[in-house]
Amino acid sequence: MPQSRTQHTLARPVGVTGIGYWSGQEVRVEFRPAPVGAGRFFVRDDLPGAPRIPATSASRNDAQRRTVLAANGATVDMVEHVLAALAGLEVDNCEIGVTAAEMPGLDGSAAAFVEAIAQAGLTAQAGLVRPLVVERPLRCGDADKWIEVRPPMGDRMSIEYRLDYGPDSPIGSQWLVTDVDARAFIAELAPARTFVLKHEADALIARGLGSHVSPEELLIFGPDGPIGNQLRFDDECVRHKVLDVVGDLALAGRPIVGHVVAYRSGHQLNGELVAKLLMDEQQSQQRKSA
């Protein structure tokens, strides 16, 4: 059974500034302390009334290649690395003030967000965390790509991910299994960067997106490997996919205690799994109370 722990928030505000991949717009993200039970939520500081957007499954909007949240007439885009950093470091309650819709791409990883949160430090709060413990297997996807959550193998979330784009891809087959605790997240997942294939990058630029992004800001793979960049890990791509899973599953609003197994899953399937898991928990509680 999972061990209970106190809720955490930041000891002080701390910020990160950068440029959005898609928009090219400068944005400041400020992580701020929040009260017990507040959860994680974005605040659009740049909009009248500073609308709040809860970082929950109910706020998720479908989007290609990224996770987008919308509520109260406002949106935030590319939130997965921000949420992964908060969830990976066990920050349960946090106000995330932003000055634009899109989060900064930075170097394509969550490392800068992790560094900022670590500098601010955490403070324990009076309330206890109520984890979401997986009771039975749940799956989203098809034979080509899928994600499944199973009852836990231990007292926390673990993730098993297989990445395979076929024999003709410059990205070889990769497989990773890891427990998701703060130490492993900081060392093994947070530094792993966003990656795209050269033809995908060219297609985005042709649509007027990301033309300002250089190979130093993410991994662009040509036929012979990364262009103008070096891998931080031999299996950096699968590590980044696991990083994305951590960020997307953070939309549960509580730590998930279960074993996640995925094959080529992306943001949409990850988000669908969270919604399915929350619905299953609700139905289970209704059956038990009937």
Domain ranges for the chain, please list them: 6-289
Is 8 annotated in a binding site? The answer is no
SS (H, E, C) 167-220: CCCCCCCEEEEEECCHHHHHHHHCCCCCEEEHHHHHHHHHCCCCCCCCHHHCEE
DSSP one-letter string for 85-112: HHHHTT--SEEEEESSSBPP-TTSSSHH
Q: How confident is the model at residue 286 (pLDDT cuts 50, 70, 90)?
A: confident
Q: Is 92 annotated as a binding residue?
A: no
267 is catalytic: yes
What is the CATH class of 6-289?
Answer: alpha beta
Strand 26-33 with 14-19, pairing: antiparallel
Does residue 208 register a pLDDT over 70? no
Q: What is the mean pLDDT of residues 205-220?
A: 72
Rounded to 5 degrees, φ, ψ at 260 are -100, 130
Quote the pTM value.
Answer: 0.95
Q: Is the pLDDT of residue 104 over 80?
A: yes
**Using CA atoms, how far apart are residues 194 and 66, in angstroms rounded to an integer?**
11
Model pLDDT, residue 269: 98
The neighbouring-strand residues paired with 26 are 19
Q: Quick check: 46 pLDDT over 80?
A: yes
Q: Which range is least confidently modeled, 62-66, 79-83, 194-198? A: 62-66
105 Cβ neighbours under 8 A, 6+ residues apart: 18, 19, 20, 21, 78, 194, 213, 217, 218
pLDDT band per the 50, 70, 90 thresholds, residue 209: low
- In sequence order, the β-bridge partners of residue 226 are 221
Max mean pLDDT among 15-29, 193-207, 231-245 falls in 231-245
What band does 212 get if pLDDT is binned at 50, 70 and 90?
low
Confidence (pLDDT) at 2 = 64
Contact 142, 266 (CB under 8 A): no
pLDDT in the model for residue 211 = 63
Mean pLDDT of the chain: 94
Is 240 among the annotated ligand-binding positions? Answer: yes
pLDDT, residue 198, reads 84
Q: How confident is the model at residue 218 (pLDDT cuts 50, 70, 90)?
A: confident
Angle, alpha carbons 43-248-28 (nearest 5°): 35
62's tokens: 């479908």
Is the confidence at residue 137, as pLDDT, over 70? yes
Share of the chain above pLDDT 70, in %: 96
Please state, in angstroms and as integers, the Cα–Cα distance from residue 37 to each residue in 5, 70, 116, 157, 172, following that order.
13, 21, 22, 21, 43
181 in Cβ contact with 156 (< 8 Å): yes
8 vs 123: CA distance, rounded Å: 6
Lowest-pLDDT choice from 100-104, 136-140, 281-285:
281-285
> Cα(186)–Cα(289) distance, rounded to whole angstroms?
40
Which is the catalytic residue, given 8, 199, 259, 267? 267
